[in-house]
Amino acid sequence: MTSVAVVICAYTQLRWGDLQDSVESAKRQPERPEVIVVIDHEPELFARAVARWPELRVLENTEERGLSGARNTGVAGTDADVVAFLDDDATADEDWLGHMLAALDDPDVVGVGGRATPSWPTVTGAGPYSDELLWIVGCSYAGLPETAGDVRNVIGSSMAFRREAILLAGGFREGLGRVGTQPLGCEETELCIRIAQVRPGSRIRHEPRSNVSHRVSADRVTMRYLRRRSYYEGISKAVLSRRVGTGDSLSSESTYLTRVIPGAVARELRSVGRGGGLRAFAIALSVLSTVVGYGVGRFLGGVVVVAPANRVTKQPVGTL
């Protein structure tokens, strides 16, 4: 039988309620996975998690602060055949893991990603977000396949890989991925591309029946967060393109910009009286912010500024 572990990474006590919901949803999976909680350099949260789940493996991130290092710590902390990852603010459906494991029955499939459905704050709803912009809040967005199929990369809030494929590719790379509240990204995209490069013929699957409910906090339903997250996505794409090449790093994005976005803007402009004007502006702002971030990332040429805790440091990027 295939053994499986679910890794959940957390960095702040502000999400304690969400973390409990996430962990309990992983424990409820019929496959009875090993559940591993990784705390990212937050001693008080680590002590709290150890006390809450004495029956689970609760680990401290042994690598650099950030989501990539925390995920690598989780991978190192298990010898399971398959390692699934669930965000600390995402709650898995009961058949979430089963659908991903079914996709991995094919020996050529090394990774699979599920669907992430947004759970909006009741006071704001979706705010300025059209379906095409849901990637900003870590959810499945219009433009992704609606049926199961092969994709370049998965969404980080809900994914699973063969552990040996992660190790073969060298794990998640630092310099990409969220660090505290700094909204960098693309670490799962880079890993998927690297797996394909080191293991030709391997496949990454999208399985929309594998669903999680991803809570969106009120502070993320604002134009300020939309602009900031889009800007840092551009920074992340610039880093990604330096690491794996522009062709691999921007192939899906080119289709998104040329086919998905123009149709979305036209649709929203036709419904100006029903909030379409705000959503059309949000789409334009997101694209502009991403392009600016990408330009800044390319100009920096190997250094990206991040802000862990209350200090600013520079991390080298752009090399494998």
For residue 67, give the nearest of 154, 160, 188, 166 by alpha carbon.
188
Residue 319 has pLDDT above 70, yes or no: no
pLDDT at site 316 = 37
Where are the strands (E) in the chain, listed by range? 4-10, 34-39, 57-60, 82-86, 90-92, 109-119, 149-150, 158-162, 203-215, 303-306, 313-316
pTM for the model stands at 0.87
Q: Which of 14-28, 40-54, 87-101, 180-194 has the lowest mean pLDDT?
A: 180-194
* Close Cβ partners of 256 (under 8 Å, ≥ 6 residues apart): 143
The per-residue pLDDT for range 115-165, each reduced to its tens digit, is: 999 999 998 899 999 999 999 999 999 988 889 999 988 988 899 999 999
Assign 302 a pLDDT band (cuts: 50, 70, 90).
very low
**Residue 58 DSSP label:** E
Residue 183 has pLDDT above 70, yes or no: no
pLDDT at site 133 = 95
Assign 306 a pLDDT band (cuts: 50, 70, 90).
very low
Residue 250 has pLDDT above 70, yes or no: no
Residue 314 has pLDDT above 70, yes or no: no
Residue 238 has pLDDT above 60, yes or no: yes
Assign 61 a pLDDT band (cuts: 50, 70, 90).
very high
- Determine the distance from the C-alpha atom of residue 67 to the mean position of all C-alpha atoms in its chain, rounded to a whole number: 9
Please name the amino acid found at residue 112: V
Residue predicted with more confidence, 271 or 29: 29
Across residues 72-78, what is the average pLDDT?
96
pLDDT at site 1 = 58
Q: Which of 244-253, 254-263, 271-280, 281-290 has the lowest mean pLDDT?
A: 244-253
Residue 46 has pLDDT above 70, yes or no: yes
**Residue 257 DSSP label:** I
Percent of the chain with pLDDT over 70: 87
Neighbours of 121 (CB within 10 A): 15
